[in-house]
Amino acid sequence: MKVRLAIITRTAEEISKLLGAGIKANYYFRIKTLLTKMAEDNKNFVETRDTLIKKYCKMKDGKPVVIDNKYQFTKAKQIELDKEGKELIDKEMEYDFDLIPISKAGDIEINPYTECLFKE
């Protein structure tokens, strides 16, 4: 199963809703384990993103320049950040997860973020 870093947070949020939907214990455990791995990858993603921002933003006295809660960038540095940032968010994380047969989903509501867990 693959999930792009750009949507990993939303995907994890939507998947976690399944845990409260009366899913069987076997699937509950597998989904909970998957969410733990996704949370770690999301943490690493946020740390990497923050490092990139600080690498390219304007600095003053060794601190990032922030105006109106926004980091400030030169045009050239913004272009570099955008390029490197796109590579980061487009990265797909692969998870070893045995897909759940759709026939076992019962009344669980499946959406574009959770459909990656199921197979026909």
| Count of structural domains, the chain | 1
pLDDT at residue 48 in the model: 96
Distance from C-alpha of 3 to C-alpha of 70, rounded to nearest angstrom? 28
Domain region containing 52: 2-119
Q: What is the pTM of this model?
A: 0.83
Q: Is 110 exposed, middle or buried (0-12, 13-18, 19+ CB in 10 A)?
A: middle
Q: What is the pLDDT of residues 12-48, one digit of tens each?
A: 999 998 888 878 888 899 999 999 999 999 999 999 9
pLDDT at residue 91 in the model: 95
Per residue in 78-108, is it b (16+ CB within 10 Å) or e — as a string?
Answer: eeebeeebeeeeebebeeeeeebeeeebeeb
Q: What is the pLDDT of residues 40-89, one digit of tens each?
A: 999 999 999 999 999 999 999 989 999 999 999 999 999 999 999 999 99
